[in-house]
Amino acid sequence: MTPRKHGKKREKQLETAASQIMARQSTKGNSAEKEGSSGSSPLGLDIGTSKIVLAKKDYRKTTFSSQKNEFINVDYSRFTEGILEQNDIRHYRSGDSLLVYGDGAETFASMMNSETRRPMRRGLVNPKEVNAIQVIKGIIDDLLSSSRTYGTQLCFSVPAPAKGAESDLIYHETVLKRYLNEMGFKARSINEGLAVVFSELEDENFTGFGISAGGGICNVCLAYLSVPVLTFRIEKGGDFIDDAVASVTGEVNTRVRNYKENDLDLTKKPSNEIEDALVIYYDDLILSLVEALRDTVSRTSKIPKFERPIQIVLSGGTAMPNGFKERFEHFLKREEFPIEIRKVRLSSDPLNATSKGALVAAQFEE
């Protein structure tokens, strides 16, 4: 193909991608308008490896908006920049590149036959990605643009620290907090597992286990009357499953992820190679989670005496496939557990539980 023809093809691809993204953004835009600007009412922000989610209260209703936490680099050209601007697709220029970020990045990547990149890895800013902080700030700016009132209380989620790399969390938390404060918010962080307790266990006096099985990691918090007794993480999440399944089946990650999100049922017998591998790695993740839970509780000396058996709430995108809760219960019951558990429950809104809990925490700060 001649360079000219190649250029034309690329321009066509870009225009198609832009119109697809536009169609999606315009539906989102309408709902944001309906939500209106909530002025100084508190905000909850879940800054996750795969997604950033904002929760806010409009009148009595909690509403959510989100953007994928990913981006793609395309070569800079005035034509591309013009298309992005005309279509209001989130982007910025960095030297000879244009960085397209948020929900638009995925559509762009698939049109250009390439993969998106992530500014975060395993719950924290990815130190190997030079654009990481700028992309996260861009997404946060967009989500918060209609809620920017000076002095608004805002809680944002942070993961539990990784074993042996505790100082990485200090950097992650400080950079985000400083930025949110510079935007005029009164920002405070909340552990992600505790946020799940805040959103899901109000009827239990904020006592029990909150678990978020996310894209990068799984976060766990045991709380007693809203006070965290223990928090920890395991280094496996949806990305681990996608990478592992792609590696053994030879499929690309995007196809594995689509299959996992749309067709996986852990209660059914696998009917093809991808399903078989997904079930194997899901079991591996769930077993790692249950074993880490058992070990951590057994090693913790300060566990309070609960008046009655407690609940475990599961949330996060990775906990969504049918059968996740049942596999979790199966592994939990295989050996004795040091605390009496009354019930294991899946959150009714697994993708929004963290931001909702952060919002509850922000409301307490008022």
Ligand X SMILES: Nc1ncnc2c1ncn2[C@@H]1O[C@H](COP(=O)(O)OP(=O)(O)OP(=O)(O)O)[C@@H](O)[C@H]1O
Residue 138 within binding range of ligand X, rule CB under 6 A: no
- Residue 317: CB minimum distance to ligand X, A: 2
Residue 350 within binding range of Mg ion, rule CB under 5 A: no
Residue 138 within binding range of Mg ion, rule CB under 5 A: no
Whose Cβ is closer to ligand X: residue 224's or residue 232's?
232
DSSP secondary structure code for residue 212 in this structure? E
Whose Cβ is closer to ligand X: residue 257's or residue 294's?
257
- Indicate which single residue of 214, 237, 238, 357 sits in contact with Mg ion (rule: CB under 5 A): 214
Residue 320 within binding range of ligand X, rule CB under 6 A: yes
Residue 193 within binding range of ligand X, rule CB under 6 A: no
- Residue 347: CB minimum distance to Mg ion, A: 12
What phi and psi, each to the nearest 5 degrees, are found at residue 206?
Answer: 55, 40
Largest CA-CA distance found in the chain, in angstroms, rounded: 75
What separation in angstroms does the CA of 231 have from each of 184, 317, 332? Answer: 30, 20, 18
The one segment of 104-112, 164-172, 207-215, 339-347 that binds Mg ion by CB under 5 A: 207-215
Residue 317 within binding range of ligand X, rule CB under 6 A: yes
Contact call for residues 55 and 358 (beta carbons, < 8 A):
yes
Tell me, letter by letter, the H, E, C secondary structure of 262-306. HHCECCCCCCCHHHHHHHHHHHHHHHHHHHHHHHHHHHCCCCCCC
Contact call for residues 88 and 106 (beta carbons, < 8 A):
no
Residue 50 within binding range of ligand X, rule CB under 6 A: yes
User: Binding partner of residue 161 among ligand X, Mg ion, none, CB under 5 to 8 Å per kind?
Assistant: none
Residue 321 within binding range of ligand X, rule CB under 6 A: yes
In one letter, which amino acid is 152? T
| DSSP per-residue codes, 124-144 | EE-TT-TTHHHHHHHHHHHHH
User: Binding partner of residue 138 among Mg ion, ligand X, none, CB under 5 to 8 Å per kind?
Assistant: none
Residue 161 within binding range of ligand X, rule CB under 6 A: no
**Pick from 263, 265, 246: which is nearest to 324 by CA?**
265
The one segment of 6-14, 41-49, 97-105, 144-152 that binds Mg ion by CB under 5 A: 41-49
The one segment of 8-16, 55-63, 286-294, 318-326 that binds ligand X by CB under 6 A: 318-326
The one segment of 20-28, 139-147, 317-325, 335-343 that binds ligand X by CB under 6 A: 317-325
CA pair distance 315, 324, nearest whole angstrom:
10
Burial class (CB in 10 A: 0-12, 13-18, 19+), 4: exposed
> What is the contact surface with Mg ion in residues (CB under 5 A)?
48, 212, 214
